[in-house]
Structures are given as C-alpha cells and as structure tokens.
C-alpha cells in the first residue's frame, strides 16, 4: 500500500499547490482508511486554532484522496470531481497537527467501480472526521463522481 499512497502524495505535490501550502501529508493508507495530516502552524487563525477553510480542505481532500487511490487500485482512467459537500465544525482544533480520516466501505467501493465500468460514470458519498481528544471536532460529508477522462 505504500507505493499506491505515494501516487497520491506525488499527484497532490504536482497538481494541487494548496496541499503543499497546508503542509498536507498522507500518514496512513491501508486500502480502507486514509489519514491526511496537516500541521497547525500554517493553518492557524486569529484564535490560535485551525482555520475553518484549512479544516475543510483537509477533510475534502481525505475523501478525494480515498477515491483517487481506489480508482488507482482498480486501474481506472477517469476524471474525479467533488459534486457536493457539507461540513460541520463542532469544536475548535488547537493541537499541533490535525488529521482527517476517511473510511471506505469495501463493498460500497466495489459497486462504485462496477458502476463506472458499466455506465462510464459513478457517484459515491464519503465522510471524514477530525477529532480532538477523542471527540469529533469536524464532520464532513462529500459526494464524489468519476467520469470519463478529459480529452486533450
């Protein structure tokens, strides 16, 4: 799984400059769970906690990254987009770093991949959370779509 995780790291570094500005790092991927971590320092607000926009970006990218990695594992050539997203900020995040965790249900993803192969497009809804002291601080839900690749 390390090699596949490196694909996401490389893609973000080359194609999403914001990921570098956030200090985003893939800290865990096992096929079912993806952890993206960012340090507080470049994401701090005037209250000395994580900026809401940074929390949103890390949460949305954890789910986006999960879809990216699942499509890489399935060897799909597709275009991945976020089609809808919602976030709840439940408590401040003030630790030195914070991690958004996205969990993938294997059967859910198998159907997602099957749908793309048969229909040429597919949608999936994923969630991610950021916790503080064992309590959910941020709850994110996003819908992601995969479509045929963009022609050059």
48: left (phi over 0), alpha (psi -120 to 50) or beta: left
- All structural domains of the chain: 2-147 (3.10.129.10)
Element (H, E) at 90: none
Reported as a single tens digit per residue, the pLDDT across 5-62 is: 888 889 888 999 899 999 999 999 999 999 999 999 999 999 999 999 999 999 999 9
Helix (H/G/I), strand (E/B), else coil: 117: helix
- Per DSSP, the residues of 20-45 read HHHT-EEEEESSSEEEEEEESGGGB-
d(CA 63, CA 67): 6
Q: What pTM value is reported for the model?
A: 0.94
How do residues 51-104 score in pLDDT, each as one tens digit? 999 999 999 999 999 999 999 999 999 999 999 999 999 999 999 999 999 999
> What local confidence, expressed as pLDDT, does residue 4 receive?
84
The DSSP output letter for 50 is B
- Please work out, in degrees rounded to the nearest 5, the angle formed at the alpha carbon of residue 97 by the alpha carbons of 88 and 36: 70
């Amino acid at each position: 799984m390390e090699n596949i995780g490196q694909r996401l790291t490389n893609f973000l570094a080359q194609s999403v400059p914001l990921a570098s500005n956030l200090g985003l790092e893939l800290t865990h991927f096992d096929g079912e769970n993806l952890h993206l971590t960012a340090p507080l320092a470049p994401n701090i607000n005037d209250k000395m906690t994580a900026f809401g926009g940074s929390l949103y970006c890390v949460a949305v990218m954890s789910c986006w990254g999960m879809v990216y990695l699942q499509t890489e594992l399935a060897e799909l050539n597709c275009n991945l987009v976020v089609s809808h997203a919602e976030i709840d900020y439940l408590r401040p995040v003030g630790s030195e770093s914070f991690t958004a965790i996205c969990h993938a249900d294997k059967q859910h993803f198998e159907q997602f991949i099957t749908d793309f192969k048969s229909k040429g497009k597919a949608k999936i809804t994923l969630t991610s959370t950021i916790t503080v002291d064992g309590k959910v601080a941020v709850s994110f839900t996003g819908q992601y779509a995969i479509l045929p690749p963009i022609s050059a």
